[in-house]
Amino acid sequence: MDIDWMTGITLFLIFVILGFWHYSGFFQEKTQTQDLTYVGEKILNSLLTQSYEVPVYYNSSSGSLETLSLTFSWPEGTKNSTRIFSGTTPLECNISGNKLYWTADTVKGENMFLMKFSKKPSNVLCNSDINTSNPNETVSWVMETENVFSLYKINQMLSTNYTDFKESLELSNDFQIVIINNTETFYGKTPSLSRNVYVSEKTGKTDEGSNTTIRVLVW
């Protein structure tokens, strides 16, 4: 009877230990996966910037080559990157203070334009030599905002030493970044064959309007 009791206790303890070992390994692996996924997302987020689009409305009484203007308050750090479009065609423009000027072939009645800018270091893009006297004022509609890939941040990363970039994000894991557009550009280390590699990927537009996929491999 005592032997059966001891055997039962021993078997019970063995099952408890095996169960603990199994589930502790499971939760450890799950935690590691979450941590590595966080690393991938942190790298992707570091390459994003805010991009803005503002529809601009103008009602022309005649329709002709006209100089137009818009009084606007830009978010900080975005004014220099401003461009104005008619459809997909960029127009000659100029910025002075809080006014944007541009020339356009208008039609009689409603005319729509699209102003675009993003938060990035940039020389003034609207710097054309146009006549800004007696412009016709336009009206801006609701501004739309989205997160897009920043070509400036991507190029800055590619020109930065891997170790320095890794330290700037306070990361301890190794990683490789693959930038996919017309070609594939690789940055970072080659994935280890002896380690589990976790992948984060995002596809979207850059602040220049091109489609790009960025894949991050972390181990």
Condensed to tens digits (0 to 9), the pLDDT of residues 61-89 reads 999 999 999 999 999 999 999 999 999 99
Residue written as tokens 């739309």?
A: 144
Query: Is the distance from CB of 214 to CB of 204 less than 8 angstroms?
Result: no
| pLDDT for the residue 108 | 97
> Cα–Cα distance between 26 and 34 in angstroms, integer?
12
- Decide if pLDDT at 191 tops 70: yes
> Cα–Cα distance between 170 and 163 in angstroms, integer?
10
Query: Is the distance from CB of 144 to CB of 116 less than 8 angstroms?
Result: no
Query: Residue 96 burial (CB < 10 Å; 0-12/13-18/19+)?
Result: exposed
> Cα–Cα distance between 104 and 115 in angstroms, integer?
13
Residue 154 is given by DSSP the state H
- CA distances 12 to 2, 4, 15, 18, 20, Å, are 15, 12, 5, 10, 12
pTM of this structure: 0.75
Condensed to tens digits (0 to 9), the pLDDT of residues 90-143 reads 999 999 999 999 999 999 999 999 999 999 888 999 999 999 999 999 999 999
Domain ranges of the chain: 50-147
